[in-house]
Every structure is written in structure tokens, then in C-alpha cells.
Amino acid sequence: MLVGKVVGSIVSTRKSEKLIGNKFMIVEPLEKGGGSERGSFVAIDHIGAGVGETVLVATGSAARIGCGMESAPVDAAIVGIVDEA
């Protein structure tokens, strides 16, 4: 699981049928000190995170299971919004 900051959103008009109706956000991973750890990535968002929020992100098979999309091409999912760290 990663901690990151939502820095934007993605709009896709053409995508896998299993992804239709889902929201995608651009997430920048954070280090313990608050800085960026590596490049940004796209995560599916089922909880309604907004730009500027700090979020918890599951990756790999945990992302698919965590958002109930076991057969969808999902590699990262926002699974929580951090209120306080």
C-alpha cells in the first residue's frame, strides 16, 4: 500500500468495457518527509477523492480485489482518504 497525493484527474473516452463509469485520478507517491518518491501514476477511484487530498492506494491484485473489479485491468486503486498523518 502507498500513500500519495491526488494531483489531477484523467478523462478517457475509449477504454475497456470493464472500466466504463469509473473515475481515474493522477496520484503522486509521497515519502515520509512529505516529498515525492517517484513519478506519478493513475489510480481508479471508488471513494470520491479530490485533487489535493492525501490518499491510500492499493496496487496489484490487492487493487482489483479492494475495488471489487477482480477481472478488470486495474493496477492501482484509491482505497482511503487520509485525514491525519
Domain extent for 25: 2-11+21-81
Q: How many domains does the chain have?
A: 1
With 90 as the cut, is the pLDDT of residue 83 above it? yes
Beta strand residue intervals within the chain, DSSP E: 2-10, 23-29, 41-45, 54-59, 76-81
Q: Is residue 44 part of a domain?
A: yes
pLDDT in tens, 22-67: 899 999 999 766 555 578 999 999 899 999 999 999 988 787 776 6
Q: Is residue 16 part of a domain?
A: no
Query: Where residue 14 falls among pLDDT bands split at 50, 70, 90?
Result: confident
CA 11 vs. chain centroid, Å, equals 14
Give mean pLDDT, residues 66-76: 74
Cell of 78: 484509491
**CA dihedral sign of residues 55, 59, 62, 65:** positive
CATH label of the domain that carries residue 46: 2.40.50.220
Q: What is the pTM of this model?
A: 0.82
